[in-house]
Amino acid sequence: MPASATNVAPPPPVPRERQGSFGGSTRVKTLKPFDTCNIKILLLENVNETAVTALRAQGYQVETHAKALAEDVLIEKIRDVHCIGIRSKTKLTKKILDAAENLRVIGCFCIGTNQVDLEHASQKGIAVFNSPFSNSRSVAELVIAEIVLLSRQLGDRNMEMHQGIWSKVSANCYEIRGKTLGIVGYGHIGSQLSVLAESMGMRVRFYDVVPLMPLGTSKQINTLDELLEVSDFVTLHVPETEETKNMIGEHQLNKMKKGSFLINASRGTIVQIPALAKALRSGHLGGAAVDVFPKEPAANGKFFESELIGCPNTLLTPHIGGSTEEAQSMIGVEVSQALIKFINNGTTIGAVNYPEVDLRAIRYEENSIRLCYTHLNVPGVLRQITDILADHNVDKQFSDSKGKIAYLMADISDVTPEQIQEIYRRVSETPTNIVCRVLY
């Protein structure tokens, strides 16, 4: 594929067929400065068919893989793609991003974005999108099921039956009605779970780092320790951050009531596994349900090992909290639309590492362009840009910053192909340039 298809290179003079067959100044213009068939997209980890279909419908070249790729294979594959779509397994580290010479955008077809070095991506001018809530309901429903399963020791009974052992017991088996559910992290999943749990007669308490409106009759608790002390079930719904890593260790498990249960469907690093295994084997905890692990196998069929294997009343699931047909199909639509809008129009609404900028539809005019400029967030940049655009007709312009980077979009009308080349060249040569794209 020629370098000019990377969509950051100067656009060639506008060919007749792209000047549009529809005239009139009020028509919406399709911004495609490149042949879409030159855009290469790599989709890993069995990203849903809804996304594959939507991206192929744009004319992009889409390569799909059912699994995550080994690091060396990924480094080779990512070299010339403009966009990559992943789920939670693929780690897009600094090393991998540095190999991705043409990469402009990453789609995380999930909620979590901890698998991507977001700061490095921003510094390289790579926008990252995710799906902030399309699998929240699926996770909340799984947790409701696990609360009942743990409370009735169903995991162990099921295993015994498959081994031909009949063991009809009621000791230490409880209804969940009237029990206290302690939710750590009251965001999209935590709050949805709160509603479901109350509808089943549970009392809900939650702990979060920010004050939040309690839904129904739930109540926010001031400290994590206090929440652990009052809860019969503790369920974790925080993102992986420096603060949440190892959040639940021996001290916190000891604070939990004897016979209570822990559920983790957030990230594997939040819980210290040896401490949890000890609390389960000693009988201090009545059971646990764990969906996420510090180290997860890269693909189905690969070997899984954990100190939790064989612990009493312990449900282990292979990171399936968001794995439902409904969630995956919605995520596929949502993330692919964000990627298409970014590639074709420069829109960053919903990006997790970029300032959110959108100019809405550009008016249809034959000689209008859209400048999308990612730059270092330092003083004096707008003066340089104003200087470059001073003799042109800037219809709309908007810029915003996030941390060390800023993003500017400007729609400019009445420019000749030579002027487009000149604008592209001068903006790209500014010392603060990270990535400059010109769409028309």
Ligand X SMILES: O=C(O)CCC(=O)C(=O)O
Ligand Y SMILES: NC(=O)C1=CN([C@@H]2O[C@H](COP(=O)(O)OP(=O)(O)OC[C@H]3O[C@@H](n4cnc5c(N)ncnc54)[C@H](O)[C@@H]3O)[C@@H](O)[C@H]2O)C=CC1
**Interface contacts to ligand Y, rule CB under 6 A:** 111-112, 135-136, 139, 184-190, 207-210, 237-241, 243-244, 265-267, 291-292, 319, 321-322
Per-residue DSSP letters for 167-196? ----TT----TTPEEEEE--SHHHHHHHHH
Contact partner, 189, from ligand Y, ligand X, none, Cβ < 5-8 Å per class: ligand Y
Contact partner, 87, from ligand X, ligand Y, none, Cβ < 5-8 Å per class: ligand X
What the block records as the tokens of 439 is: 């769409």
Provide, rounded to whole angstroms, the least separation between the CB of residue 88 and ligand X: 4
Q: Which stretch binds ligand X (CB under 6 A): 104-112, 145-153, 274-282, 352-360?
A: 104-112
Cα 76 to chain centroid, rounded: 23
Residue whose structure tokens are 């290179």: 9
Nearer residue to ligand X within complex by CB, 248 or 410: 248
Rounded to whole angstroms, the Cα distance separating 325 from 319 reads 15
Nearer residue to ligand X within complex by CB, 38 or 323: 323
Nearer residue to ligand Y within complex by CB, 60 or 109: 109
Q: Which amino acid is at 400?
A: D
Contact partner, 187, from ligand Y, ligand X, none, Cβ < 5-8 Å per class: ligand Y
Contact partner, 365, from ligand Y, ligand X, none, Cβ < 5-8 Å per class: none
Count the residues of the shown chain that bind ligand X, applying the rule CB under 6 A: 8
Provide, rounded to whole angstroms, the least separation between the CB of residue 118 and ligand Y: 13
Q: Decide if 120 is catalytic.
A: no
| Distant-in-sequence, close-in-space partners of 390: CB < 8 Å, separation ≥ 6 | none
H helices present in 355-407, as ranges: 381-389
Q: What is the largest CA-CA distance in the chain?
A: 85
Provide, rounded to whole angstroms, the least separation between the CB of residue 266 and ligand X: 8
Binders of ligand X in range 302-341 (CB under 6 A): 322-323
**Would you say 433 and 373 are in contact if contact means Cβ atoms under 8 Å apart?**
yes
Provide, rounded to whole angstroms, the least separation between the CB of residue 244 and ligand Y: 5
Looking at 296, 307, 366, 422, which residue is catalytic?
A: 296
Provide, rounded to whole angstroms, the least separation between the CB of residue 323 and ligand X: 5
What the block records as the tokens of 208 is: 């979060």
Residue 355 within binding range of ligand X, rule CB under 6 A: no
- Side by side, the strands of the sheet bearing 203-207 are 219-220, 203-207, 180-184, 233-236, 260-264, 285-290, 314-316
Looking at 137, 237, 319, 375, which residue is catalytic?
A: 319
Nearer residue to ligand Y within complex by CB, 29 or 267: 267
Binders of ligand X in range 80-99 (CB under 6 A): 87-88
Nearer residue to ligand Y within complex by CB, 125 or 321: 321
Binders of ligand X in range 161-220 (CB under 6 A): none
Per-residue DSSP letters for 257-279? PTTEEEEE-S-GGGB-HHHHHHH
Nearer residue to ligand X within complex by CB, 88 or 244: 88
Q: Decide if 426 is catalytic.
A: no
Residue window 135-154: x/- pattern of binding to ligand X, with contact defined by CB under 6 A? x-------------------
| Distant-in-sequence, close-in-space partners of 300: CB < 8 Å, separation ≥ 6 | 67, 318
Measured at CB, which residue is nearest to ligand Y? 187
Nearer residue to ligand Y within complex by CB, 187 or 286: 187
Provide, rounded to whole angstroms, the least separation between the CB of residue 161 and ligand Y: 27
Contact partner, 190, from ligand X, ligand Y, none, Cβ < 5-8 Å per class: ligand Y
| Distant-in-sequence, close-in-space partners of 159: CB < 8 Å, separation ≥ 6 | none
Q: Decide if 319 is catalytic.
A: yes
**Would you say 293 and 266 are in contact if contact means Cβ atoms under 8 Å apart?**
no
- Output the CA torsion sign for 49, 52, 57, 62: negative
Rounded to whole angstroms, the Cα distance separating 261 from 312 reads 12
Cα distance from N-terminal residue to C-terminal residue, the chain: 21
Provide, rounded to whole angstroms, the least separation between the CB of residue 313 and ligand Y: 20
Provide, rounded to whole angstroms, the least separation between the CB of residue 135 and ligand X: 5
- Side by side, the strands of the sheet bearing 127-129 are 61-64, 40-43, 83-86, 105-108, 127-129
Rounded to whole angstroms, the Cα distance separating 408 from 422 reads 18
Residues that bind ligand X (CB under 6 A): 87-88, 110-112, 135, 322-323
Q: Which residues are catalytic?
A: 267, 296, 319
